[in-house]
Structure 1
Amino acid sequence: MAVQPEGTPCWADAMFTDLEGAKSFYGDVLGWTFGEAQSQYGNYTQAYVDGKAVAAVVPPMSDQGGQSAWCLYLASADVEATAAKVRQNGGEVLMEPMQVGDFGSMLLARDPSGVVFGAWQGGTHEGFEAKGVPGAYAWAEVFTREPEKSDAFFPAVFGYSAKQMEDPQVDFRMFDVGEDTVLGRMKMTEDFPPEVPPYINVYFTVDDCDVAIKTATELGGVLRFGPMNTPFGRFAALSDPQGASFSVIDLTTTEGEVPRTSDVT
């Protein structure tokens, strides 16, 4: 697999206090199977679909508590250089660049609006081994109350070009790497409770959105929004039993025309 272009979403993981509970939940909702916990890396445990790595779960380190949350990693050719760009553009490096064996190197950062994300410089582990198939990553969106900050930051750090959706009802922007749209940005409205921090919402592909909702809610998950048909698929936003937000999307069930967009200079 070729190295991912700079800024392309390339991996997702989450910390869970109840790791076995998370494995059971996502195994049932998304069909994941799990590899062996890697004790030398804090019991980091990869999730697989048809033998291909699609995400990972990990217990929190002793000094890390708080809310479970999915973290999206963006591809970086040089995490040291990415860390410098984060700082130069008003962001904060939360975890300094570190090498993870021969798998690659990573950092964790926060944009000026409060959105936490990772950067990954691939080694033997280049990232997602499958995308857009049931159980695998499909899409992600930056949710922020201060879109002007995120809109300046992410293109400055990762070289994105941007286009804005021409819809007066929704403040939505898309970031492109070359010809490929790789990430969305949604302005958080007053529909979001003030205690919900800015975050990146990760979408996982499912065969049937409604079946995934039913399974998730029966297992203690919470339906936050949807299901809703869009030109891109039928999706719903959920929280798992440990509070981590994510979305599911059936990419085959589409409705309506793709909204018009205009380039942003």
Structure 2
Amino acid sequence: MGPGGAATARARPTEGDDMTVRDTPWPDGTPCWAELAVPDLELGRQFYGALLGWEFEVGPEETGFSSEALVGGRRAAALNGYRPDPDAPVAWLPHLATADVAAAADRATAAGATVLAGPMDVMAFGAMAVLADPTGAPVALWQAGTSIGAQVVDEPGAIAWAEHMSADPAAARAFYPAVFDYVLQDISQPGFDYTTLLLADEPVGGIGGGWDRPEWCLYVRVEDTDAVVAAATRLGGGVHLPAEDSPYGRVASITGPFGERLGLMGPNVGEAAAAQG
């Protein structure tokens, strides 16, 4: 994975609050929201509530009882029960911010994406489209209305990093700058194919290779990576990639109760011990 924690630079702190929060629309191209469509909302809420300390605000019936995950009372992500293809793998769906969802969807299709849904209004909350990019990875576009998406990032329990992983990173590197004004920064090393996506000189995401299926991988900030990995297994999930120290913190990838993958990012072992000592 790439330079985690970059979300800190993208959020504007609210005066008088220690959390990394935002109250204005995200810049175009920024991963601004994440949703997980699950076959069992109650099970999903139980798992992620116990795992990450999320509290949930359940929406009305017309939203499909969409459940917004709150961190410190602010929106961090959401679970919903909308699964038009029940046979599709359960996976987190990132939303990329845009000021004009129709125009962004047009650029995406011109660059080789397939529109799966929309563009469409989501009541007063905003407008969205869901795409499959040229690698086959699902991704959504979000135009803010009353909802900007995530109100808190890069805090324990909130999304800290998003990266596109596939067996064809070259296709992803060609596609995404055709949709948004990304600058590509190659940080590859032998055996490690990775490109950082920059907006206004700030890292907002990454593109990597060597993955078994095309998808956007999301990382949640945690205080103790190993403890959360152990909790995931105890709660009915599993381990996709075991925890290891890295230049960006101690990272791991877990699976949830529906087979979905979620990355974790916390302090490296020595850093955690120093903080406790």
TM exceeds 0.5?
yes
The equivalent of 2:237 in structure 1 is: 221
User: 1:96 Cα deviation (Å)?
Assistant: 1.6
Superposed CA deviations along residues 8-47 of structure 1, whole A, max 9, x for unmatched, are 0100001111111110110111110001232111221111
The equivalent of 1:237 in structure 2 is: 253
The equivalent of 2:220 in structure 1 is: 204
Partner Cα distance (1:27, 1:223) in 2: 18
Q: 1:37 corresponds to which letter in structure 2?
A: G
Q: Does 1:247 align with 2:263?
A: yes
Q: Does 1:144 align with 2:166?
A: yes
Specify the SS of the correspondent of 2:65.
coil
Q: 1:73 corresponds to which letter in structure 2?
A: H
Q: 2:222 corresponds to which letter in structure 1?
A: V
Specify the SS of the correspondent of 1:230.
coil
Superposed CA deviations along residues 43-66 of structure 1, whole A, max 9, x for unmatched, are 2111101101100001134x4312
- Of 135, 151, 171, the residue aligned with 1:113 is 135
User: 1:255 Cα deviation (Å)?
Assistant: 7.8
User: 1:135 Cα deviation (Å)?
Assistant: 0.5
Specify the SS of the correspondent of 1:217.
helix
Could you tell me whether the CA contact under 8 Å between 1:230 and 1:255 is conserved in 2? no
Partner Cα distance (2:270, 2:188) in 1: 18
Q: 1:85 corresponds to which letter in structure 2?
A: R
Instruction: From the superposition, tell whether residues 109 and 227 of structure 1 become closer, same or farther in structure 2 (CA, over 3 Å).
Output: same
Q: 2:115 corresponds to which letter in structure 1?
A: V
Q: 2:241 corresponds to which letter in structure 1?
A: F
Partner Cα distance (2:177, 2:126) in 1: 23
Partner Cα distance (2:60, 2:176) in 1: 32
Specify the SS of the correspondent of 2:103.
helix
Partner Cα distance (1:9, 1:60) in 2: 21
User: 1:71 Cα deviation (Å)?
Assistant: 0.2
The equivalent of 1:27 in structure 2 is: 49
Specify the SS of the correspondent of 1:35.
strand
Partner Cα distance (1:115, 1:64) in 2: 15
Partner Cα distance (1:156, 1:187) in 2: 19
Q: Give the unaligned 5+ runs of structure 2.
A: 1-22, 272-277
User: 1:254 Cα deviation (Å)?
Assistant: 7.7
- Of 9, 22, 29, the residue aligned with 1:7 is 29
Partner Cα distance (2:153, 2:68) in 1: 15
Superposed CA deviations along residues 159-179 of structure 1, whole A, max 9, x for unmatched, are 100011141120111111111
TM-score of the aligned structures, taking structure 2 as reference length: 0.86
Could you tell me whether the CA contact under 8 Å between 1:233 and 1:255 is conserved in 2? no
Q: 1:38 corresponds to which letter in structure 2?
A: P
Partner Cα distance (1:26, 1:129) in 2: 18
Q: Give the unaligned 5+ runs of structure 1.
A: 257-265
User: 1:115 Cα deviation (Å)?
Assistant: 1.1
The equivalent of 1:125 in structure 2 is: 147
Name the % identity.
34
User: 1:188 Cα deviation (Å)?
Assistant: 2.0
The equivalent of 1:185 in structure 2 is: 207
TM-score of the aligned structures, taking structure 1 as reference length: 0.90
Could you tell me whether the CA contact under 8 Å between 1:239 and 1:246 is conserved in 2? yes
Partner Cα distance (1:151, 1:254) in 2: 33
Superposed CA deviations along residues 99-145 of structure 1, whole A, max 9, x for unmatched, are 11111001100111111100100111001111111100100110111
Q: 2:122 corresponds to which letter in structure 1?
A: V
Describe how 1:35-114 pairs up with structure 2 within 5 A. Answer: 35-61=57-83, 63-66=84-87, 67-114=89-136
The equivalent of 2:14 in structure 1 is: none
Could you tell me whether the CA contact under 8 Å between 1:137 and 1:204 is conserved in 2? yes
Displacement over 6 Å in runs of 4+: none
More strand by share: 1
